[in-house]
Amino acid sequence: MNALVATNRNFKLAARLLGLDSKLEKSLLIPFREIKVECTLPKDDGTLATFVGFRIQHDNARGPMKGGIRYHPEVDPDEVNALAQLMTWKTAVANIPYGGAKGGIGCNPGELSKSELERLTRVFTQKIHDLIGIHADVPAPDMGTGPQTMAWILDEYSKFHGHSPAVVTGKPIDLGGSLGRDAATGRGVLFATEALLNEHGKSISGQKFVIQGFGNVGSWAAQLIHEKGGKIVAVSDITGAIKNSKGIDIPSLLKHVKQSKGVQGFPGGDSLDPNLILVEDCDILIPAALGGVINRENANEIKAKFIIEAANHPTDPEADEILSKKGVIILPDIYANSGGVTVSYFEWVQNIQGFMWDEEKVNNELKTYMTKGFKDVKGMCQTHNCDLRMGAFTLGVNRVARATVLRGWEA
């Protein structure tokens, strides 16, 4: 099931639980604006190349729209639409004053030189500069983009609007990026996991974890869980998978990954078929890679008692049903991986104030938000007698619906 179908399904279930009227329900789904632009630039060899860039701005009832920009050859409009909508609910669940957006350029960043990527980013910014802005739409990095991309957008935008560090987040520290942003999603996953385990009278220490995906989110989550005494028994990435029932030495693994660009061949563990990582024996499974990895084919084989969704929509709705029948507790993506957008919000706040925080303040504020977020989700679960996913969706949708009605926007 694709991302858009799954997101719409969850939204409709939440709207039904909340008793929203059908006109309001319909207007909440329709994006505020969809932008599509042609970006033509000279390549290094002098020939011209054309790429299509776009931005879906989903909702701005609660504040400026927020969401990533991805550079990827197959940018699927449906998926981007789903991700923009997901950002609307995610920012509402986190209780930060944003709506959702998402965008990108259909290109293969690996095939472009650094100067071509810079020209592409600047042309794209020239085309959309009057549609984004500090109080309108604040982009961030996503697949195939990073702090350098944000620096180029900031510079190009500032040529039109004066120095505006708050127009993008995920910037380099030297240009107003926030300390703690790099680890934020992984650290948020740690705080979310602690809040969930706490509810069940457990702590991180001594629990067995399996982490699928060892990119930014997976590696930070692994490092922080390891520091708290959690035992990580298996890890995978694009290169392969490794396991060690006694617990993987994460600091050594991080060194290995830095040198050999992947977990494959790590001496402190045995090789494992990456397709089997999700069904490894553990207490807590953290999918931190792609969407749709937990589906009806493998859901029955999963041995974990808890699943923490660090990736976006890693669990198919069919798998959701199978797992809930088995009594597996799933902490949904729109809460579990909201640490990144929460610290992006802190970055924006610091830029607007022109006053930067130290890392300890960033991390403490993040913990406050994640802990309160879990209580709020749990509260909705009790009100509507539903699982955590529906608790999070009803919380997010309700906040956006209330803002929409209060502003007098409902049809």
Give the closest residue to 216 by CA, choosing from 310, 294, 87, 301.
Answer: 310
* Sign of the CA dihedral running 358, 362, 365, 367: negative
Taking the CA atoms of residue 103, residue 105, residue 110 and residue 113 in that order, the dihedral angle to the nearest 10 degrees is: -120
| Pairing between β-strand 240-243 and β-strand 270-272 as defined by DSSP bridges | antiparallel
Q: Give 228's Cβ-side CA count (13 Å radius).
A: 21
CB atoms closer than 10 angstroms to residue 131: 14
DSSP for 159-208, written as a single string: HHHS--GGGSSS--GGGTPPTTSTTHHHHHHHHHHHHHHHHTT--STT-E
| CB of 187 closer than 8 Å to CB of 220 | yes
Residue tagged active-site, from 102, 171, 231, 243? 102
CA dihedral 226, 227, 228, 233 (to 10 degrees): 10
DSSP secondary structure letters along 125-155: HHHHTTT-BTTTEEEEE-TT--HHHHHHHHH
Biggest CA–CA distance in the chain, Å, is: 64
Three-class secondary structure of residue 306 per DSSP:
strand
Angle at 285 between CA 281 and CA 287, to 5 degrees: 130
375 an active-site residue?
A: no
Tally of residues, the chain: 411
Give CA separation, 8 vs 1, 99, 186, 298, in Å.
11, 17, 27, 24
Of 288, 290, 324, nearest to 308 by C-alpha is 288
**Half-sphere exposure (CA, 13 Å, Cβ side) for 260?**
13
Catalytic residues: 102
